[in-house]
Structure 1
């Protein structure tokens, strides 16, 4: 890797040239490059250095992929060991010592009831490939075609995964978007679809689901499975209440509908438990895993109950499902997170960060709600000058959220936006973030929010009491 130019002006010019070439050559579908116009050349832990010499604290972390941050020594050592051993790097689905070690390490982390009778399918390299495999699996095993999914969900951008996702605009380009998919309300504290929030909102969501499944006149397909995120990430960092997840497990189990839990972003300690399902104690029929399990490299799998394993040989494949470097880095990452209890660290530090963000809302009216679980945190940005709706929520303010992201970048902080309207500032720092870095993140974000408020000419605080939707789930 070539070092950046010595002089800052030369470095800035070189970076700008690279960005111009990217804009002229790459697809219009590029996303992060538009809102984060930087050219990373070095990275270690939570810090990224751009080609212009500027340094940033990275709270995107590969959209949650980098559990240990950039270039963690444990992952690098594992990768080098495979390279130095002259082991084959491409093996399709052949058995190797590296693969066996990864599978063993993964199964040791799973809920015991799933691990004891589990089967694993290595998919293509991305989480969306694993979602496709999971949907195909439950349809094959049940002989049914319908799929239950949730409003606000995000499961990937390939056709089947996109059909199960909630974004209508993204699905519009897919032939027969959402065919066979029935959407259900997901508990959303700040914008409860039933206008109640709290436990009552979750109860009504479960009641709706049960009624739909038991109503012979509902006009729905026989269901092959239900797919759910324990925390909606791209949907706005919305944690599902534990009791609600347990109810979904009971409803599906009683009706013979396999439950698929998408842990692509929530897994490997992110939410304060190794797997987010452990908060509620549920055992799904299928778990969809990717991102952090590859130790920063592409890897995706599904793990499922053995009675669903009715595939014929070759029924699901993928040329790069045997990524040896990712399996080695993944094994090292899984064991490091376990041995150092980084899931517990995520729980305690995330609680402290969320507490400070909630306190911040009292001084910044554009913060509608701060929420999350572990080190998966979201701050919903709203228009404080607008009228509250009938249930006490203010309208989303994507323009202000974009300003927050831009001001954060100016202060050396990388954050992402998500949510229904692109108005949720998302924090996904590495699990290795230090207390000092956490404070720096919150300081920079606080300054960015204040700057965005000034830019938007928001009114001073004192916009009435916050909406009373009940306790946070």
Structure 2
């Protein structure tokens, strides 16, 4: 584990200059940030909450144009598994450039591509990998999801797709159709027809008003009944798609027994089971793939983000039996990103060789305990959940209730906490219903010392927010 020690991935220069515990950082606009506001689309999102002009980055740290240093617990929305500019990824990119290999190859083969595929299949659970095919997709995860839906409809005489409340699968018209958030699709027509949404179990906010095992039982019973009811109004589905851990939906892990139940249901009804591991895969949850813990074997998985070592890449891996589509049925110009495959292969090898999943479980537990400590002290921290280094802390209004009598989600207070963290040198993101869940997706190499530092900043930020609402 030598390459994940603090001195290896976070140069002392960055550590010395990270002074967030002693002063508030200035977040005034710069000329570049002002030009961004004037010239970029109104659809821009992250700069509104994280108004930084970034200059350098290393490991878990980023530095802005004013020389201020931040701990990055967003890490490209989980893309940067090894943090910023990790030596193994940088070296792989440099070697690929020096080799003279074509940088753009469509879906033609190269030694770099072959090595990437070999590594990925070695890391996949053997039961899945032994009978699998891979499709390289466009550079975004959304394109892999689009491919998965096209494949499932091609191999089935049916069209309906089952998705889940709180889901996030991308921002294309097709993937928005499968996603729960109503905001981006309110004004859009032409969404994918035949999508049916189902409840995703969450003990803290179960739509049935239940908790624990009862919530799981109710969800599985509802789905079984729906598929057997001749008056359900839902035609036989071609596919069911879900995130093994919901990310944008508020960091909600799928219970193992529920996943096992879904696998049984989909097999019984001949439904293709698609697991979206675009954010929760590649070591993020403390397992190489989040579905491994449940012991199930899906029909299809979609992968992106961390799989490219920080560069754009997405793939779909699926059972050979489903490989019934025709040549060119799913294509795209940028399927042959050689630099991403080189960086991705190096990243996957490093995660495997350094047993990084063990480290993720350890420091993830450490961070979860720190978040639980905040929950014990502040009554507006309603729930702490997640797995590994994919964690969320839901912020609530203890004086208001939702329709089922639970504390209401408080997006305003969560936003103030995010801002207070940023002012003290910590980048976190918001998600979940009403934007009330503070999300943590730090690089998988983050050290115990850095986790402790994150906890200290969080506590100071929480105290500041508490003072505002007291």
TM-score, normalized by the shorter chain, greater than 0.5 = yes
Residues 83 and 456 of structure 1: is their aligned pair in 2 closer, same or farther, counting only changes over 3 Å?
A: same
3-state secondary structure, aligned to 1:386: strand
User: How many residues of Structure 1 are paired with residues of Structure 2 in the alignment?
Assistant: 445
- Measure, in 2, the Cα distance between the counterparts of 1:427 and 1:182: 30
Match of 2:229 among 203, 215, 218: 215
The aligned residue for residue 82 of structure 2 is 68
Q: Check if 1:281 corresponds to 2:295.
A: yes
Cα deviation for residue 341 of structure 1 reads 1.1
3-state secondary structure, aligned to 1:208: helix
The aligned residue for residue 192 of structure 1 is 206
- Measure, in 2, the Cα distance between the counterparts of 1:200 and 1:75: 45
Q: Check if 1:429 corresponds to 2:439.
A: no
Q: Check if 1:156 corresponds to 2:178.
A: no
- 1:295–1:326: 8 Å Cα contact kept in structure 2? yes
Q: Check if 1:245 corresponds to 2:256.
A: no
Q: Which runs of 5+ in 1 are unaligned?
A: 1-11, 458-473
The aligned residue for residue 41 of structure 1 is 55
Cα deviation for residue 389 of structure 1 reads 5.6
Cα deviation for residue 455 of structure 1 reads 1.6
3-state secondary structure, aligned to 1:93: coil
- Measure, in 2, the Cα distance between the counterparts of 1:257 and 1:383: 41
The aligned residue for residue 338 of structure 1 is 352
The aligned residue for residue 399 of structure 1 is 412
* Deviations 1:372-410 (CA, angstroms, capped at 9, x unpaired): 10000100000122247645x200110000000000000
- 1:14–1:51: 8 Å Cα contact kept in structure 2? no
- 1:149–1:182: 8 Å Cα contact kept in structure 2? yes
Alignment of 1:373-388 (within 5 A): 373-387=387-401
Alignment of 1:167-206 (within 5 A): 167-177=181-191, 179-206=193-220
- 1:14–1:52: 8 Å Cα contact kept in structure 2? no
Cα deviation for residue 14 of structure 1 reads 10
- Measure, in 2, the Cα distance between the counterparts of 1:174 and 1:446: 41
Match of 1:133 among 143, 147, 156: 147
* Deviations 1:157-206 (CA, angstroms, capped at 9, x unpaired): 00111100001222223324352100000001111111111111011001
Q: Check if 1:414 corresponds to 2:427.
A: yes
Residues 308 and 387 of structure 1: is their aligned pair in 2 closer, same or farther, counting only changes over 3 Å?
A: closer
Residues 363 and 155 of structure 1: is their aligned pair in 2 closer, same or farther, counting only changes over 3 Å?
A: same
3-state secondary structure, aligned to 1:361: helix
- Measure, in 2, the Cα distance between the counterparts of 1:48 and 1:168: 33
Match of 1:103 among 97, 114, 117: 117
* Deviations 1:425-454 (CA, angstroms, capped at 9, x unpaired): 000000000111000111111111221121
Q: Check if 1:299 corresponds to 2:309.
A: no
The aligned residue for residue 348 of structure 1 is 362
Residues 447 and 389 of structure 1: is their aligned pair in 2 closer, same or farther, counting only changes over 3 Å?
A: farther
- Measure, in 2, the Cα distance between the counterparts of 1:112 and 1:91: 29
- 1:57–1:414: 8 Å Cα contact kept in structure 2? yes
Q: Check if 1:26 corresponds to 2:20.
A: no
- 2:27–2:423: 8 Å Cα contact kept in structure 1? no
The aligned residue for residue 51 of structure 1 is 65
- 2:251–2:385: 8 Å Cα contact kept in structure 1? yes
- 1:262–1:288: 8 Å Cα contact kept in structure 2? yes
Match of 1:256 among 255, 270, 281: 270
3-state secondary structure, aligned to 1:448: helix
Cα deviation for residue 15 of structure 1 reads 6.0
Cα deviation for residue 221 of structure 1 reads 2.5
- 1:400–1:453: 8 Å Cα contact kept in structure 2? no
Q: Which runs of 5+ in 2 are unaligned?
A: 1-25
Instruction: Please report the RMSD computed on the Cα atoms of aligned residues, expressed in angstroms.
Output: 1.3
- Measure, in 2, the Cα distance between the counterparts of 1:367 and 1:323: 43
- Measure, in 1, the Cα distance between the counterparts of 2:397 and 2:29: 35
Residues 445 and 102 of structure 1: is their aligned pair in 2 closer, same or farther, counting only changes over 3 Å?
A: same
- 2:140–2:314: 8 Å Cα contact kept in structure 1? yes
